[in-house]
């Protein structure tokens, strides 16, 4: 049909504004006899690729800005071969971050113990944030909630757990018990 190519071009451009270069590339990539839908599809692929590239450039620029800021603060240093490493000041800052973070998930791995441990707490409302942190710690260690503030598990407590309770200033409100003799627990309600 006469004017078919013009029709396809106009139909492809009609749906939205296209960059001329994107349109030409899409038209050439789709091929001479391609439908306007195929041309739009190729154009959208080209635009998606460009957007992704722009986002990646933005991420790289952001990272460069962060690195520049860290270098100017003296937290990281750069060698002649452009390798970066932490300065002593940077190591101190990293340690401060590790100690100030409410919960370092790397330090709380689930380890099965030999005895059953029961943890109970009655933490005042003023310590809501700390209570939530304690709950997260207990979940990560593998404890199970058996009552509103009672957790049970055959779990080996890491040494850092007690130190973190002290650091959170809730040690006085937490009881840690270890069941040393085997017994049976039965539900008083029969189904």
At residue 96, does pLDDT exceed 70? yes
- Where does the pLDDT of residue 55 fall: very low under 50, low under 70, confident under 90, or very high at 90 and above? confident
Cα maximum dimension of the chain: 94
Domain limits, the chain? 1-100, 105-179
- In this prediction, residue 190 has a pLDDT band, given cuts at 50, 70 and 90, of very low
Band (146; pLDDT cuts 50, 70, 90): very high
Mean pLDDT in residue range 84-95: 83
The topology under which CATH files domain 105-179 is Alpha-Beta Plaits (3.30.70)
Rounded to whole angstroms, the Cα distance separating 190 from 58 reads 63
Query: Percent of the chain, pLDDT > 70?
Result: 76
Residue 58 parent element (H or E): helix 36-72
Question: Where does the pLDDT of residue 102 fall: very low under 50, low under 70, confident under 90, or very high at 90 and above?
Answer: low
For the chain, list the strands marked E by DSSP: 76-78, 84-86, 112-121, 144-147, 150-155, 174-179
Please report, for residues 94, 97, 103, 167, the alpha-carbon distance to residue 100 in angstroms, rounded to integers and kept in the order given: 10, 5, 9, 9
Residue with tokens 């990272």: 63
The residue-averaged pLDDT of 39-65 equals 83
User: Residue 188: what pLDDT?
Assistant: 34
């Amino acid at each position: 049909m006469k004017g078919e190519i013009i029709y396809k071009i106009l139909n492809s451009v009609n749906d939205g504004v296209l960059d001329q270069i994107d349109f030409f590339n899409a038209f050439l990539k789709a091929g001479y006899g391609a439908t306007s839908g195929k041309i739009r599809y190729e154009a959208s692929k080209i635009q998606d690729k460009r957007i992704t590239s722009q986002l990646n450039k933005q991420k790289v620029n952001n990272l460069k800005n962060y690195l520049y800021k860290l270098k100017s603060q003296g937290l990281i240093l750069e060698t002649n071969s452009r390798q970066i490493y932490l300065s002593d000041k940077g190591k101190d800052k990293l340690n401060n971050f590790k100690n100030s973070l409410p919960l370092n998930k790397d330090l709380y791995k689930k380890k099965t113990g030999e005895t059953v441990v029961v943890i109970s707490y009655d933490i005042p409302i003023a310590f809501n944030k700390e209570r939530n942190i304690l709950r997260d710690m207990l979940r990560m260690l593998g404890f199970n909630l058996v009552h509103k503030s009672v957790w049970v598990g055959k779990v080996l407590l890491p040494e850092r757990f007690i130190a973190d309770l002290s650091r959170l200033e809730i040690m006085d409100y937490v009881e840690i018990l270890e069941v040393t003799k085997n017994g049976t627990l039965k539900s008083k309600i029969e189904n």
